[in-house]
Structure 1
């Protein structure tokens, strides 16, 4: 094979003005721009470095002497590869992300005694040199401008004589694994690998098909991948140097690649294609205005290293060629074909035939197969990269798991790792066994430990205590020193934060083998709900603390310190040894800080009450810059949550969850997998949910009901709920019409696996969102997860081939401030609330529950009016009473049953309660009304709003009379008194109430609620319009007012 430096020099002679790559530079005002680097520039830069190395380093002491290099991720990697090969050195690229132990291990195994570096890593390399035996020879190389813009362009040194042909077994350079086994392992990259890769276009493929590598030719390609990564080397050697038709566009090397930088690159350079990690793609789509559009403008988007979120992939695949690639340090890349249906099958891979690729089923893992590369017949090895690097082996077991497409044979989707490797969603990998063993063998307090995090941005730790514990926080304090010891053994991206520690429960022991070893995957399955909740809780938190932050290196607190002092503490605490000796003007990314540490700094500062977004850290990557940026916003930031109006808080929440991808809703529906209706019922085990489920089961139009609940014990809870309400003893586990799913709408794919989610989208015609926490004392922010879930339901509907209708169960509380905002006194005392939507944030009652319902409704309104979804319906449900059919008991813990029981104990009952007009709806009637409206509005366009309150009202005094009659018939009289007197008597008891009295008078537990009712006495009443609900629901049209017969039934069922 013609050697890489010979190829570059040939291009420089034959096409000196041809563009090899575009690199980022900064103008005098600091703005980024991209400069074309010609082949002649690259060739000259190589010769300048050859001369520099010859003068300061000397020639190799022996053939192929190892020469280590680490630096910021810029073009100097490419220059150094070519210069080293000209001089006879064998480059060793050691990642800037490695720990000191990782660097030293690589130096030892490769017998490397010389280390080149960029100035940003002076501290690291000096420390390595002091620990090496024999001592390292270290040399800082000049900045990039030294090679690209020499002071005397006319005096470029000539190239030395060098080998122009390399044999297949020649080592071009040495790279290393990510350290997922604890320490990184050196892996040679042989010349035969590159030679083989450059001939991929000759690889046999089926008729009318092409291999994936051909897509890179004749492209300009923006790459968010470093040269020390096998993906980056593939682009450099194969696509760039040897094909000479691909123009690489590099990102700035002074900080980790981010979504913001990639967006700027795409906008300014307008490349044909881009290659980056799923994490960057997801950030661009979800968080950056214009990010989705920029990606859609590409001719091709290549991702790899980790799975891409499915809903994002679905959005992109119809707009651009979305390509999934797979490779590894040892195997380089695995040859694949271009998929025939990239729009629908983008997340799958079709492996090229004839390359020895086998998918072997794995015992104990259903539908999972391991990718194994087996040496093919003699003469065909040229298609198998791994056997050039490891010629002594006959097969290579990748330990990567895949699952085959359900209907398209030969298409495979990545499904994780067979071994213990944890793969984060940014592509980083770690093997946690060493970490876990440090904990298990350190103090005797830890019986078992499991590090988790596959598919997430950061790791977490699950600990099984040896003995019973009473205080989890105290236990974590006792073992945290061991966690710190383990953290120091791992790269920064792999370290566990204190807020990411879970303590195992006595009733949920770790699953173990007969030999006592922890079975990782099965144990994670046992704790999957706790793990899911832990990741949800991390949004907006800094290591799980506020005001004071611990992270394994110290603590940070804002009390009594200036802003710069606090920032300095945070940076040093997060960076640990990397932060030692850095100055206030040092760019933290130039000393090895990565994206996870940037996030940790952001959260740490936020926890000290400094409002520091992640993008602020990226934009201001030094202590000085952060101090200026945060000081500038401090006066504005002092408008704390306490002084920000509730309307503003709602506006911010609505904005946060109204970032919809601009994709029109198609007119036509795809072929359904069911002939009847499919209904997704979110929240089925509560009172209203149970009656909804019963109604759907009885409805012949419905073929299948999917019940999505958080609890994995939902089937048991549902059966119990049915029995308690007199709905029958139903065997839900084997019911032909209903399927229970464990998940949450706030999670990606609702917490379901991709195949399950995909099937759900194809089956569902109607979504009923009924799951909502009922807590009138909680602030708006506590409802954020269900608000986020509403947005995900809109995403589900928008990208479903059935375009299902969303039916959102709201509350009349969401409009209970209507009178203050909209009521005109000239209209009379009664406040009429119409069946129309009002997005005014002053409308909901002044409580988090009401505000959250309003916010969710506004999100759906924006989704509908923006063409994102077709026909959502908002149903404002009023006070639900007990059922009028069957034997179901009205929940005794609710305010009205509690009032009745308390009144019996006091011997007094309020004659008025404020809003004395009773427009309650029996719960079974409300459920059927919701079903009526859902089917009536199905396929009808438009955003509609309904008031689900009784069209016919009764008066409170009528109910009081029935309650008095009931207890009179049972030998007890109740005296009607004013509400103030009744409340005063109850308060008198509350001061010294015993457990027995609280049992007899449950109203003691909700005194605050009853006090809130006093504000409604002698104020205008509310009248809810119901014409639209009556028009769309025969059940509602036939509903009578709450009457004595109903009241008597409920009293008998309570049996107070």
Structure 2
């Protein structure tokens, strides 16, 4: 098993000047970009870890560190702090205070890092949670342009495959949301997608979306699909162009991002695509992209049809509990509502009701890398690792994922699915 933090360190050593992200910043409506290399990223992570140790003391193995901040470059830097062996709890600033306190109690978290935008929320949390020790993270410029350290951060603990890396929560939960544990092995399995096969004449979506040309990303990073974009971009070495969240409301800045970065692809929420569709001049700009992908919610059919006439529109499917199901690129614009799972995932679609189908992750004997034993190579190894990623948080066999049982998980969080048999390939269509 090779964790993606190890991938970052390897890229920093072998491609020190290689581009990781271009961070967007707006000055009086003018969009500028700050390129950040792999070596800068690795140094920034080490610097923040030294800083956290100074503020909180050495991080104990399996200790929980919470982070609440705007979805920008500091987010992945904090995520990479898992190299210390701690669990990173990414909490949404949209959670009410009772939900935040609920998470702190469940995870026994006392260390909290935040950005200045949420100082008032943190003050209220500290008043109701006496053991909490919140600190504001450094400004990005201070992190990236610090004085060179004489020593790298050397308290790295190699994580176990079944060790907890991230703690997330489902989106749109009613009542108090439950914590969802993302395991190290699940994240590491994403690195195997670089070797996944595809039928003759077909392409894997992740291979195309994260090619060496930039992908514009404007997605909140406390949700698993956004973290999936981040991890795939690292494993596939596809640079990202990241905009500040407050810039998302401006389609003018979005179009500027396209013109300045000349990206091959973009990852949007459906609401952003729909906003662009309402601006005819902006909509035409999508034709400069090879691919546009979206996830997390349905896209208005009329908007999808418009977008699919200009670029290759692709939908990703996933769920916090089982990450992302890798899929193939659709071949025709009219298929923009369909999803075709990769055969390497080991998952199938079974009938559930007259108008819905469910994804079933088949239970098969898998050989996985553990305690120094090499995982198998080739297709068998890839299938095992991908199944491990899909099932990492489930803990039982032959689970069925539907929307009608609190103990089960519905794929994609939509109301219904139907399946189309096409050339012996199963496709699912959002209604």
Tell me the TM-score normalised to structure 1 length: 0.37
Change in 2 beyond 3 A, CA 1:219/1:184: farther
Give me the whole-angstrom Cα distance separating, in 2, the residues matched to 1:299 and 1:318.
12
Residue 167 of structure 1, CA deviation: 3.2
Name the SS of the counterpart of 1:68 in structure 2: strand
Q: Is the 8 A contact 1:371 1:402 kept in 2?
A: no
Match of 2:43 in 1: 44
CA distance in 2, matches of 1:80, 1:2: 19
Q: Which residue of 2 aligns with 1:144?
A: 140
Aligned partner of 2:86 in structure 1 is: 89
Q: Using the alignment, how far apart are the partners of 1:280 and 1:289 within structure 2?
A: 14
Is the Cα contact below 8 Å between 1:5 and 1:164 reproduced in 2? no
Distance 1:202 1:268, change over 3 A: closer
**Paired position in structure 1 for 2:420:** 405
Residue pairs, 1:624-635, within 5 angstroms: none
Q: How is 1:193-208 mapped onto 2 (pairs within 5 angstroms)?
A: 193-208=186-201
Corresponding position: 1:19 with 2:19: yes
Identify if the C-alpha distance between structure 1 residues 413 and 94 changes in structure 2 by more than 3 Å, giving closer, same or farther: same
In the alignment, which of 324, 327, 344 is matched to residue 318 of structure 2? 327
User: CA separation of 1:87/1:269 partners in 2, compared to 1, >3 Å: closer, same or farther?
Assistant: same
Instruction: Please give the alpha-carbon distance, in whole angstroms, between the structure 2 residues aligned to 1:313 and 1:59.
Output: 50
- 1:324 offset after TM fit, Å? 1.1
CA shift for structure 1 position 91: 1.0
Indicate the residue corresponding to 1:265 in structure 2.
257
Cα deviation per residue 1:280-334 (whole Å; 9 max; x = unaligned)? 1111121x25311111110111111122222222222233211111011111101
User: Which structure ranks higher in relative contact order (CA pairs < 8 Å, sequence separation ≥ 6)?
Assistant: 2
* Separation (CA, whole Å) in 2 of partners of 1:159 and 1:212: 36
CA RMSD, aligned part only?
A: 2.3
Residue by residue over 1:158-189, the C-alpha shift from the partner in whole angstroms, topping out at 9 and shown as x without a partner, is 21224474332122221221142422221122
Deviations 1:478-497 (A, max 9, x none): xxxxxxxxxxxxxxxxxxxx
Show the counterpart of 1:209.
202
Q: 1:381 aligns with which of 357, 378, 384?
A: 384
1:115 counterpart = 2:112? yes
**Are the counterparts in 2 of residues 175 and 329 from structure 1 also a CA contact under 8 Å?**
yes
Q: 1:378 to 1:149 in 2, by over 3 A?
A: closer
**Equivalent residue for 1:821?**
none
Structure 1 position 264, deviation (Å): 3.1
Cα distance in structure 1, aligned partners of 2:183 and 2:211: 23
Alpha-carbon distance, 1:393 to partner: 4.5
Q: Is 1:350 aligned to residue 343 of structure 2?
A: no
1:903-1052 to 2 correspondences below 5 Å: none
Instruction: Please say if residues 203 and 383 of structure 1, whose CA atoms lie closer than 8 Å, have aligned partners that are also in contact.
Output: no
Alignment partner of 2:394 out of 373, 384, 390: 390
Deviation at 1:67?
0.5
Aligned equivalent of 1:63, options 61, 64, 87? 61
Distance change >3 Å, CA 11–CA 281, structure 1 → 2: same
In 2, Cα distance between equivalents of 1:205 and 1:16: 32
Structure 2 residue runs without a partner (length 5+):
368-382, 402-408
Superposition deviation, residue 203 in structure 1: 3.0
Pairing 1:135–2:128 present: no
Normalised TM-score (structure 2): 0.86
Match in the other structure for 1:1040: none
Say if 1:222 and 1:250, in contact at 8 Å, map to a contact too.
yes
> Of 232, 237, 252, which residue of structure 2 is paired with 1:238?
232
Match of 1:359 among 349, 353, 356: 349
Matches of 1:302 and 1:273, distance apart in 2: 8
Aligned to 1:299: 290
d(CA) in 2 for partners of 1:357, 1:300? 25
Gaps of 5+ in 1: 416-1056
Partner of 1:414: 430
Matched, 1:275 2:291: no
Determine which structure has the larger helix proportion and give its number.
1
- 2:300 alignment partner, one of 285, 299, 309: 309
Distance verdict in 2 for CA 1:12–1:94, change over 3 Å: same
Give the secondary structure class of the aligned counterpart of 1:21: strand
Instruction: Write the distance in 1 (CA, Å) between the matches of 2:252 and 2:319.
Output: 27
- SS of structure 2 residue aligned to 1:271: coil
Structure with bigger gyration radius: 1
Q: Is the 8 A contact 2:328 2:342 kept in 1?
A: yes
Contact 2:9 2:42 in 1 (8 A): yes
Q: 1:257 to 1:250 in 2, by over 3 A?
A: farther
* 3-state SS of paired residue (1:158): coil
- Deviation digits for residues 1005-1048 of structure 1, max 9, x if unmatched? xxxxxxxxxxxxxxxxxxxxxxxxxxxxxxxxxxxxxxxxxxxx
